[in-house]
Structure 1
Amino acid sequence: MASKPLGPNDADTDEENVQDEYIDPEDVLEIDEEDGADYPMDDEDELEDGEGAAGPSGENDILEDTSIRSFTNHASSVFAVAVHPSAQIAASGGEDDLGYIWDYSTGEVLVKLTGHTDSVSNVGFSYDGEMIATGGMDGKVRVWKRVGQQDFKRWTFLTELQGPDEVMWLRWHPKGNVLLAGSNDTTVWLWNLPSGNTMQVFASHASSVACGEFTPDGKRILTADTDGTLILWDPRSPTPLWKLTSDDGRFDLDGITSLAVNPASTVAVVGGASGGIRIVNLAKGDIVGSLAVHDEGESVEAIAFVGFAGTAEVVVTGSTDGKACVWDLNTLKIRNELKHGDSVTCLVPLPAPKSHMVISGSADRVLRTWDTRTGALVKEHQGHRGPVLGAAVGHEGGFVLSAGDDGACLVFAAE
């Protein structure tokens, strides 16, 4: 059972204008108040000091620990890790029903994020780093706010948002204090912060909403479900702009498991449970391409756009087949194949000027930094004793932070 919320709800909860031209606070609605990336560790898999973890082939092998710091306050699997946009501060959420804010330069705990009664599966900082949200399997979304202008070490509980029955994912708006969440109960929720008012409830899905994103320009929302339906929304309307379903044979992906939107907010790449990948024009909802190289029946678990010089539009897709594939969307051809020994669970691009590099995390317990232009392995990051479940890049791309099924968050030099 989680402990009481941290601190009083003493933050200013007056309505604030959303700092974005596309969402107006006056649009607030008045309403009444697993997949391949989750690998729980069984008790029999717990390791004694000095004992190696079971490798992908089942044998006990010991990987070299190349991390520069570890955070081990979680009592069991860590599902999510996020980094502050400007400070060396991280947040993590785990199976122990807890989240933490911690300093990844020292490993110091800054705040223990309590109040959930089931696993904290999602964490995220707002675009300016002034707020952080946690989402749980208990359906709660809890928000904390930074105290003071200079001190990143003081946070106070702000509000609890209710609506979903189980939070599948959280996303902050790229330009304003607006939070989006997808639920297992087929709904998608949009809230304005710090007031906590519900701005919109999107209810056109028929199954669990597996993934979703704001477009990078902040104008639209793209969501997808486990039945294989993809929907584009205007944040101000509960009516879809367009919808693609598996009734269209060209879009039958056996359920959607991942998606990403290009930086220009014009194209989405969508991955499915059966290994298929589709390219969708966001303006019209047209299918404009199909990619096929992942093994049939192997789920596409992660997708990330990476930056290249010139005109190439490049995306990386990661699958349970152990491959991360680099695609040129102009030619629909594969450029490079990046290999792990087990399922690829997450992909995180580095920021400019290193945006041609991507971090891949895997169930083989290893993270790798790749140069997607050549397919060259830049650096291997080892130290986890269980599958890597999440990753984030911090401090201008200088550090890689990981979340592990072994209950640890590790910090590595990116290259």
Structure 2
Amino acid sequence: MRGYQEDTPPSSISGDEIAGMDDEEAVFLGYLDEMDELVDDNMEEVTDQEEEDTDMEPPEDLSILVFNKHVGSVFCCDLHPSGKLAVTGGEDDKAFVWSVQTGQIVFECTGHKDSVIFVGFSFDGAYLATADMSGLIKVWKCNLDENQQEPWPIAFEYEAEDLTFGLWHFGARVLICGAVSGDIYVFKIPSGDIKVLQGHNTRVECAKMFKDGVRLVAGYDDGAVKVWDLKTNAVLQQIQANVHDMRVTAIDTHPENNIMASISSDGKVILATSSNGKVVGQLQAENDLETVAFAQDPQLGFFALGTLNGDVGIWDTARQMVRHQCTKSDDESVVGVTKMIWEKDHLITGCLDGAIRVYQGRSGEKVLQLTGHRSEVLDLCFNENENVILTTSDDGTARIYKYEINKDKD
């Protein structure tokens, strides 16, 4: 709320002058007095509301562990394949490796120059990659001996341009990072061999590997979607121009390699074939469309869409029809979705209110709600070995929740 301007000159009217005023001037001054009282009352109401918001009880904390060593927002996370170690990166230019059981810091990834926006273990758990916004990429050799106090050695380091994302290949020691320039860097670890998938002078926003392990689909700020061959550095397919009119915000690939789904900030959903880039479906969702995810079990035939204004929809991929509008059956207020992953036939969503909501894919019913965070969820992941969900939040914490995917809970 804006207050009075500080350079407003003081009134020259004194109490003695009021006595000599005519009726119109007196009425005007009386009106000003009433306005002052109204402003004072409104300010008191605002203050009372702020105090009420501050005094609101925090949500019930259902997590089994809280990690609070970061200062500021915690942007990203990953779990070691064993499920024993977590890694988180944040606004404080730091990444920490810590124990899932105790929360004790195992290793601090030092040397970053900006907010850490990507952390991740390689598929075999042998290496850890951390990357910051300024483009500094570090790959550490993991030391899983809990009794060993030596720092984890650097296996590879590279300074690129400003980065937008990072991801590991799901079956090889290959690290992929996208840049603001539109270039995509592909690193072989630990040798450090580098390939560059050259962009077209527009920011690359997101990317996802196909399950064949040799192709990568990427979405760009101008709406372009390209399929790259990682062996030849060639663009295999590009969906037809002007399909997306705005920035591609998220992308995913079907588990059988045949379909890719991309979403843009104007709410458009495009389904295209991976073989020739032909558009086979165009859907219009909400303008605040944030995330898309295919169920990884091809027998399900589902993909899900999540929006920042609270819609969670489970779609039939073949028919391109909504099967379930999950949030429509909730008695609670609708809350926006920031992150979304499938585990078997369960859809795990991270939300703007800090809660984790889990939906049964076949029925669309909410089977679990996990609370604890006081602000929006920024990242999440799941480890099947330990049956734990790791989340990070704008509230400066990371949390571990226990959840056995095979057991629905009310």
Shift of 1:60: 4.1
Could you say which structure has the larger radius of gyration?
2
1:157 aligned to which of 142, 154, 159: 154
Shift of 1:152: 9.3
Q: In structure 2, what is the equivalent of residue 407 of structure 1?
A: 396
Letter in 2 for 1:69: L
Once the two structures are superposed, residues 140-180 of structure 1 have per-residue CA deviations (whole angstroms, 9 ceiling, x without a partner) of: 111111237898987322221222x2221111112211111
* CA distance in 1 between partners of 2:198 and 2:335 (Å): 36
Change (3 A) 1:110 1:357: same
1:175 partnered with 2:175: no
Matches within 5 A, 1:190-205: 190-198=186-194, 200-205=195-200
More helix by share: 2
Change (3 A) 1:362 1:131: same
Shift of 1:104: 1.1
Letter in 2 for 1:319: T
- The answer (yes or no) to whether the contact 1:253–1:277 under 8 Å persists in 2 is no
Q: In structure 1, what is the equivalent of residue 270 of structure 2?
A: 278
SS in 2 for 1:241: strand
Count of aligned pairs? 348
1:244 partnered with 2:239: yes
Q: In structure 2, what is the equivalent of residue 14 of structure 1?
A: none
* CA distance in 2 between partners of 1:314 and 1:395 (Å): 21
Q: In structure 2, what is the equivalent of residue 361 of structure 1?
A: 350
2:309 aligned to which of 312, 321, 328: 321
1:115 aligned to which of 98, 111, 116: 111
Normalized against structure 1, the TM-score is what? Answer: 0.79
Displaced runs of 4 or more, over 6 A: 51-54, 148-154
Q: In structure 2, what is the equivalent of residue 78 of structure 1?
A: 74
- The answer (yes or no) to whether the contact 1:289–1:332 under 8 Å persists in 2 is yes
Structure 1 unaligned residues grouped into runs of 5+: 1-50
Q: In structure 1, what is the equivalent of residue 360 of structure 2?
A: 371
Once the two structures are superposed, residues 47-84 of structure 1 have per-residue CA deviations (whole angstroms, 9 ceiling, x without a partner) of: xxxx9977xxxx94531111111111101100001111
1:346 partnered with 2:339: yes
* CA distance in 1 between partners of 2:121 and 2:142 (Å): 11
1:141 partnered with 2:137: yes
Once the two structures are superposed, residues 93-137 of structure 1 have per-residue CA deviations (whole angstroms, 9 ceiling, x without a partner) of: 000000011111221111111111100011111010100101111
* CA distance in 1 between partners of 2:149 and 2:53 (Å): 35
* CA distance in 2 between partners of 1:153 and 1:306 (Å): 41
Letter in 2 for 1:231: K
* CA distance in 1 between partners of 2:216 and 2:147 (Å): 33
Query: Which deviates more, 251-260 or 142-151?
Result: 142-151
* CA distance in 2 between partners of 1:184 and 1:72 (Å): 30
Letter in 2 for 1:181: C
Shift of 1:181: 0.6
Shift of 1:309: 7.7
Letter in 2 for 1:242: Q
* CA distance in 2 between partners of 1:342 and 1:148 (Å): 39
Letter in 2 for 1:117: K
* CA distance in 2 between partners of 1:101 and 1:80 (Å): 12
1:232 partnered with 2:221: no
CA RMSD of aligned residues (A): 2.2
Change (3 A) 1:172 1:365: same
Q: In structure 2, what is the equivalent of residue 337 of structure 1?
A: 325
Change (3 A) 1:309 1:240: closer
* CA distance in 1 between partners of 2:245 and 2:353 (Å): 26
Change (3 A) 1:307 1:192: closer
* CA distance in 1 between partners of 2:148 and 2:370 (Å): 28
Shift of 1:252: 2.4
* CA distance in 2 between partners of 1:332 and 1:241 (Å): 25
Matches within 5 A, 1:258-277: 258-277=250-269
1:213 partnered with 2:208: yes
Change (3 A) 1:71 1:153: farther
SS in 1 for 2:246: coil
1:92 aligned to which of 78, 88, 91: 88
* CA distance in 2 between partners of 1:193 and 1:324 (Å): 38
- The answer (yes or no) to whether the contact 2:374–2:395 under 8 Å persists in 1 is yes
- The answer (yes or no) to whether the contact 1:96–1:119 under 8 Å persists in 2 is yes
* CA distance in 2 between partners of 1:277 and 1:190 (Å): 28
SS in 2 for 1:370: strand
* CA distance in 1 between partners of 2:129 and 2:113 (Å): 15
